[in-house]
Structure 1
Amino acid sequence: MTAIALRQIRKTYGSLEVIHDVDIDIASGEFLVLVGPSGCGKSTLLRMIAGLEEISGGALDIGGKVVNALPPSDRDIAMVFQDYALYPHMTVRENMAFGLKMRGTAVETIDRRVSHAADILKIQSFLDRRPAQLSGGQRQRVAMGRAIVREPSAFLFDEPLSNLDAALRVEMRLEIAKLHNRMKATTVYVTHDQVEAMTLADRIVVLNAGRIEQIGPPLDLYHRPASLFVARFIGSPTMNTMPVDVVSDGKETALRFKGKPLPNSDVGVHSIQAGAATLGIRPEDLTACPQDGAWFSGELAVAERLGSQTYGYVEIGEARMLTVEFPRGTPIKVGDKIHVRPTMDAIHLFDTTSGIRLT
């Protein structure tokens, strides 16, 4: 069942169009993440769902009803903001109860919902404190609790973890995942952090300049990006990309890099036209090999040892750097000569002009 449907949604500011004909169906209970670089329109899109931004064109359907003209209070959604948006003069209990009081909810119901939300989020011990007496993570829990007590049909999160330090981000990410698993509520979550997107989402929507580049489960986007933009955006470290030439003798399709044939590079897709293309390879899909079988060779410029794995940055000429993931404990050092080749079924080819996937 579709809980929220966006049909040809557009947003304009005067003559400037910032959201272009966006179509998304969000299923009941789904955790959908909108991800993309700063300025791509993801927060604007979320605010249109919430009713905080006017929709310039198209239709927004929530629960089977078009809500374009409805105020935020009548859309049966609850939003968690980046800056928490807590009232500093109220206690945690009062902050969580405020929205219900404004709706005229019975005191007994308010007390029950606040107690239930505090129990879920483990914030019972500071219900009588004020926001200034709380840490960033505790304030974010309170903001989430204020949304939970509403018992809405959908939750909207606008970069809720961006103000937290790295360790707290991981902790709160786990809390949000556990909360969703427990409540099974429809959730739309905005972030620029693709790690958050990959770990939280049932599906990811990748936005670029107000347009949808790709929608799908996280691993689908990772293993089969539909465009060069998605390939470079999803994954950390990012995918290696470089210009190649596709050559064909009518029977096999192979690759050249800087005019040099790449050994055993039959890509197995004979419908690809000969010409320039962009090759993509993820760091973990490159393996050290003898020089005579290597696709790429160069000198190790930097080694990042992260404990569980090591990333090497290899200079392969013309100011081009190749990122390679080495197994833990691999004895490499700066200045070493590195020779690598990819796993053939893990290479990606993209049209150089449009960025659209070819393979």
Structure 2
Amino acid sequence: MAQIRLERLAKRYGSVEVIPGIDLTIGDGEFLVLVGPSGCGKSTLLRMIAGLEEISSGTLRIGNTIVNELPPADRNVAMVFQDYALYPHMTVGDNMGFGLKMRNAPSGEINERVTKAAEILKIAPYLERLPGQLSGGQRQRVAMGRAIVREPEAFLFDEPLSNLDAALRVEMRLEMAKLHRRMRATTVYVTHDQVEAMTLADRIVIMNAGRVEQVGRPLDLYHRPHTLFVARFIGSPAMNTFNLRTEERSGVLGVRLQESSVIEIPAPTVQPCGDGAPITVGIRPEDLSVCEPRDAWLTGETVLVERLGGQTYAYLDVGAERLVTVELPRTSEAMPGMVLSIAGRTDAIHIFAENGNRLNRDARLPG
């Protein structure tokens, strides 16, 4: 396998710059996930690595080779597409071995590699079937098998699970995690699903409008988002956010979520922002809990209670056309219409400047 290096890699369509220039190193054997909203440039970036999109400027290295001008077939990478891209008239075995056949590999070697990949992916009984005789999950395994038999330097996945139902996505995430642990292949994986990103990735790249917002390990992004965009994008349910103005006091920063209460945050834990400065305060649903009214940060009427088995969430109307999400104990008897008081810990609060950059000084840890 190989390291992949992007050096000021950019993409333009005429005068429109969709990726202004990205610097990124993907380690040998790393599972890196590109995630972001639709249109952020993640699939375009993946296709540039694959050679399916022309690089406008910058340098792309796979291993020690600059591949900017190399056609896809010469980059020694394998791509798995969202729609499987299987030949409907070929058997599973022929589909998996087609790339090797086109390279004039010996038939014995092709059969050996196909059989080995089919056993790894648990599709050996289906080698003589046509793709139309398989389920969506089985077809995706065939597409993955076709990539594996090539023994490439890197695997590229473009939203490979998006066409599967929820149960199959969970099953395939498990299979892909097991496959990566077994092969330790350099992998670049594009998805819009943050659950896939959080469960599969060694590192996540969060993209926004063609730019990299933050790169890091999944839990680092969750607990220490560098920007408001990352804070809002990572996490389900989403982080609660409030657009406020600061109230500076002696040694503390005052944050007023409702008129009835002011939260005092030790000033040394937050970068100076001045009295009355516009800020955004964020807190995750699991960092809030029901409390006595005298201790409340927020009080509101329950609009909806979402019981998911493992978690229970309440959505509170706290006024000013604002809903706040709080995680409740699974045994909670909260019902719509009930008035709840909630509070949390000051070290669980995220504070962002008007430009969206994080102001917290502390290296916040989980829990």
Query: 2:284 aligned to 282, 303, 306, which one?
Result: 282
In 2: Cα distance, 1:225 partner to 1:67 partner: 33
C-alpha distance in 2, partners of 1:124/1:20?
45
Say if 1:266 and 1:299 are closer, same or farther in 2 by CA, change over 3 A.
farther
Contact 2:2 2:154 in 1 (8 A): no
Partner of 1:212: 212
What displacement does 1:231 show?
A: 0.5
Q: Structure 1 residues 270-279 or 208-217, which shifts more?
A: 270-279
Could you tell me how far 1:318 is from its partner in structure 2?
1.3
Q: What is the alpha-carbon distance in structure 1 between the residues aligned to residue 97 and residue 265 of structure 2?
A: 63
User: How many angstroms apart in 2 are the aligned matches of 1:289 and 1:229?
Assistant: 30
Task: Name the CA distance, whole Å, in 2 between partners of 1:2 and 1:252.
Answer: 50
Q: CA deviation at 1:337?
A: 0.7
The CA deviation string for residues 76-132 of structure 1, in whole angstroms up to 9 with x for no partner, is: 100000000000000000000100000011111101100100010010101000000
| CA distance, structure 2, for counterparts of residue 6 and residue 264 of structure 1 | 44
- Cα distance in 1 for residues equivalent to 2:13 and 2:134: 38
Deviation at 1:2, TM superposition (A): 6.7
Match of 2:353 in 1: 351
Residue identity opposite 1:254 in structure 2: G
Unpaired stretches in structure 2, ≥5 consecutive residues: 361-367
Change (3 A) 1:150 1:293: same
Once the two structures are superposed, the pairs formed by residues 1-359 of structure 1 within 5 Å of their partners are 3-257=3-257, 261-266=261-266, 268-269=268-269, 271-274=271-274, 275-352=277-354, 354-359=355-360
Identical positions, percent: 62
Q: Which ranges in structure 1 are unaligned for 5 or more consecutive residues?
A: none
In the TM superposition, what is the alpha-carbon distance from 1:251 to its structure 2 partner? 2.3
Runs of 4+ deviating beyond 4 Å = 258-261
Query: Partner amino acid for 1:35?
Result: V
Q: CA, structure 1 residues 62+52, in 2 after alignment: closer, same or farther (shift >3 Å)?
A: same
Deviations 1:295-349 (A, max 9, x none): 1110000000011110100000011000100011111011111111122211100
SS of the residue corresponding to residue 246 of structure 2 reads strand
What one-letter code is carried by the residue in structure 2 that aligns with 1:320? R
Give the TM-score, by structure 2 length: 0.95
Contact 1:278 1:350 in 2 (8 A): yes
Amino acid across the alignment from 1:24: L
Shift of residue 199, structure 1, vs aligned partner = 0.2
Aligned partners of 1:204 and 1:215 also within 8 Å: yes
Aligned length: 358
RMSD: 1.3
Structure 1 length-normalised TM: 0.97
